[in-house]
A and B are shown apart, each in its own frame.
Chain A
Amino acid sequence: MEVKCPVCNKQRNSSMKIARHIFGTGDKSHRGWVNSQGVSFTDLLIAQAMEAGNRGFTTLAEIIERVQETA
């Protein structure tokens, strides 16, 4: 299943990969979009850095899926 970046429309085959793309790009517009979803870009990034597992990125991946479904 192709998933699109809600900011720049980049396509990847999973929401996790789009979440990684959003953090990897990290510019003002991608950062702003994450923050507009009721979560903090920095907090999720730091969760990814500090916690075992992938909570930071999976949280964003779930948001991306939700947004894609409702689009």
Chain B
Amino acid sequence: MNNDKHTVVGKRIPNVDGYEKVTGSAKYTIDMVLPNMLHGKILRSPHPHARIVRIDTRRAEQLPGVKIVLTGKDTLGRKNGIWRSYRELCDEEILCRDKVRYVGDAVATLAATQEDIAEEALSLIDVEYEILPAVFNPLDAMKEGAPEIHDGCERNMNVYRQIEWGDVEEAFEDCDHIREDTFYCSSQAHACLETHCAIASFSHDRKLTLWTSSQSPYYTQVLLSDMLGLREGDIKVLKPHTGGGFGGKLSLDSAQYCTSLLSMKLMRPVKIVLSRAEEFAATKRRTPIHYQLKLGAKRDGTLLAKKVRAITEGGAYTALGGTALYLTGFFSSFPYKYPNFQYDGFRVYTNNEATSACRGFGAPQANFVSESQVDMMAEDLGIDPVEIRRKNGMTPHHEIPDQAVIQSCGLQQCLDAIKKYIRKRGELPPNHGIGVSAYGFMSGGIFNWIDTPYAFSAAMVKINVDGKVDLFTGATDVGQGSNTTLTMICAEELGVHLEDITLHVGDTSVCPVDLGAWGSRQTLMSGNAVKMAAAEAKRQLLEVACYYLKPNIVYDLNIKDHWIHFTERPYRRVSYFDVVKDAIRGKEGNPILGYGHYTPHGKGMVSPAYSFGVQAVEVKVDTETGQVDLVHITTAHECGKVINPIGLEGQVEGASIMAAGWTLTEDMQTRDGKIINDNFRDYKLLLAEDVPKMTLLEVDTYEPEGPYGAKEAGEGLTIPTGAAIANAIYNAVGVRIKDMPITPEKVLRALEKKAAEEKDSEQFVAAASA
């Protein structure tokens, strides 16, 4: 591929909405105020498991300024869930009618003229609960006699998923060395700067408009339609700028649902903004997982068989946990060519906040345990950690039986780049260590959860008489930069300048359907739709241009810098603006419209494409305190053709730090089901001062399924950091931490244990030789 051919793609383009964001003029849902707007609040359960005996709302209703109080009895009693075809997995009422299942479950909602009145009114709602026994650990929840969290769900088994190819049992018999290890991956809050929020406005024509902070306005529209009994077309979802999502704004949430209910009753706009404490307690979170891994290898390091058993803590509801359960299994095989693989995953309900999608969608957990174990295997066999990865690593055109075909794959080049970096780094200071982890991730999921008949992504391009272009897409920018990426793709394909394009996003009434921002899907899937729409509009212009330029049929025309020209003889040209005018005249005055869509077909079960990378993290361990400091993060990465290098760098840096925080400091501590560190003082996100120097080593690949050869570069980058840190700690001080988060206390205890074992061993040798 000749990169020089591109005029926009591959260039360092600042975010198209960057100016608004850095100057503070960008408007988020949280900033918005509508005329005549009321303020809503939600009363949440203080109990992890209880039956609602009675709710008395009278005192709250009598408070001056309170307009209405609603409970589950005022709803249609439907249950929300993204797997609409599997009703048993639609299990969340959102506003509970009979029973609460975690601390934070919503039991009532109200609207008042002022936010402080609404807050005061919450304390005036009297709820009588019959407290039920609760269970917080999935291992306990499966035991006979454990409290049944959902009626009829025996022993709280929510979802079971399996993946298998080859014959692991036979293969283990051929192995020279087998390791069996257990690991635990902890939870993580999405910690978006903008908490969940919504403003709903229901009008007398029975149409609902919802402004909200969402990763998928289309899912919000569809799920609200189910829950409210309205037609999809009667609900318009508008998404202003969004202050982060990370998987947490994909499900229908309590702010969206309760504002809609309140507004439908009052015919007035109602706004709800979740507090930071509610954001921690009552949204969703990363799935904690217990793993048992069995890994078998030949003496030369060939990995022959792998068996994975995972028990995931589901919390109170299914949410998107079934997909996290499947993907943690699928990505447990990455990025290696295991000839034999078996996965059994069990998702179990507990009386905690539900777990769901969180950046990486189960893959960071899989990678933490798998890449820790690969390092342990390498050490057992006396093989260099990079070399064992090279020996088994995926290569282009690798097929995973019944699951996926990897087309482009630059893993081996990434390993080369990391090896070179480590060699160049040379000898490390005392208590420093470098750990390595290799990974791969999907470019969007082939998962039609909501059973939509629409294409997964669609876009429309409209060229107006002045040559300006309107790009309509349902893709969702939640801060990851898809607005810029898609505008760049449109400009490249049409041959116009970025400033010629006006982007229209975040409005379900005018934008074509797109499934939204999850599974790292926007660049490949929405990008393909935009490219197709632009190409269709361009084709119509070139048809008209042929009348001017009269090319021989063997010649191609192209558009660049507002000229339509012979591709090979650019001096033979006609003005883009003139052609646009004539094209519109020729269409009886209608603008030029191009429509594009993308849905993966024949691409296996998981994704149409996969990105790969290898990360090396250098840490410094303080052996007196157990404190782990990040010294340097180097990521060798391939994501096909890089559309916007600035966007890619932002994703690498943000993802690595989010993953490092999950690994080292972020710990959702609970007592009897209540999250006790539900604020940014006690929940320890990494801060700017914790961020080490980072280096990105970009490896060139080309993905045939992606626009201009591009594939994902978003969630995947959260995957390798956890294992790389764990491996670096082992490399630095010789202790292996297998349960997250890797706190100073755990490191210190492990160092003490290691010292005691070494002392015992010395005494034994001394006694034996005496």
Contact = CB atoms under 8 A, between A and B. Distances in A.
Interface of A: 20, 23-24, 26, 40, 42-43, 45-46, 48-50
7 contacts: A23-B162, A24-B160, A40-B154, A45-B346, A48-B344, A49-B142, A50-B139
Interface in B137-176: 139, 142, 154-155, 157, 160-162, 164
Given A48-B344, A49-B309, A49-B346, A23 B160 contact: yes
Interface in B323-356: 344, 346
B153 to A, nearest CB: 9
Given A42-B154, A45-B346, A48-B344, 15 more contacts: A20-B162, A20-B164, A23-B160, A23-B162, A24-B161, A24-B162, A26-B160, A42-B157, A43-B155, A45-B157, A46-B142, A46-B346, A49-B309, A49-B311, A49-B346
A26 B155 CA distance: 16
Contacts, number: 29
Interface residues of B, number: 13
Contacts of B162: 20, 23-24
A20 B344 CA distance: 10
Contacts of B164: 20
Contacts of B160: 23-24, 26, 45
Contacts of B154: 40, 42
B344 A50 contact: no
Nearest to A54: B169
Interface string B267-280: 00000000000000
Nearest to A21: B162
B321 to A, nearest CB: 15
A49 B344 CA distance: 8
Nearest to A48: B344
Please classify the interface of chain B as helix (H, G, I), strand (E, B), loop, or mixed, using the class held by over half of its residues: strand
Classify the secondary structure of A's interface with B. helix
A59 to B, nearest CB: 15
Contacts of B142: 46, 49-50
A69 B157 CA distance: 32
Instruction: Give the most central of A43, A46, A49: most B CB within 10 Å.
Output: A49
A13 to B, nearest CB: 9
Contacts of A26: 160
B344 A46 contact: no
Contacts of A42: 154-155, 157
A42 B311 CA distance: 15
B157 A46 contact: yes
A44 to B, nearest CB: 11
B49 to A, nearest CB: 20
A49 B156 CA distance: 12
A38 B161 CA distance: 24
Q: Closest 3 CB pairs between A and B? A: A42-B154, A49-B346, A24-B162
Contacts of A40: 154
A40 B144 CA distance: 12
B291 to A, nearest CB: 12
A26 B347 CA distance: 14
Nearest to A56: B344
A49 B142 CA distance: 9
Contacts of B344: 48-49
B568 to A, nearest CB: 57
Nearest to B309: A49
A35 to B, nearest CB: 11
A45 B157 CA distance: 9
Contacts of A43: 155
Nearest to B311: A49
A49 B154 CA distance: 14
Task: Find the residue from A23, A24, A46 having the highest chain B CB count within 10 A.
Answer: A46
A5 B309 CA distance: 24
A29 to B, nearest CB: 15
B6 to A, nearest CB: 46
Nearest to A26: B160
Interface in B580-596: none
A50 B346 CA distance: 10
Contacts of A50: 139, 142
Contacts of A45: 157, 160, 346
Interface in B163-202: 164
A10 to B, nearest CB: 13
Nearest to A52: B292
B469 to A, nearest CB: 49
A3 B513 CA distance: 46
Nearest to B292: A52
A24 B162 CA distance: 6
A3 B161 CA distance: 22
Contacts of A46: 142, 155, 157, 346
Contacts of A20: 162, 164
A20 B309 CA distance: 14
Interface string B291-335: 000000000000000000101000000000000000000000000
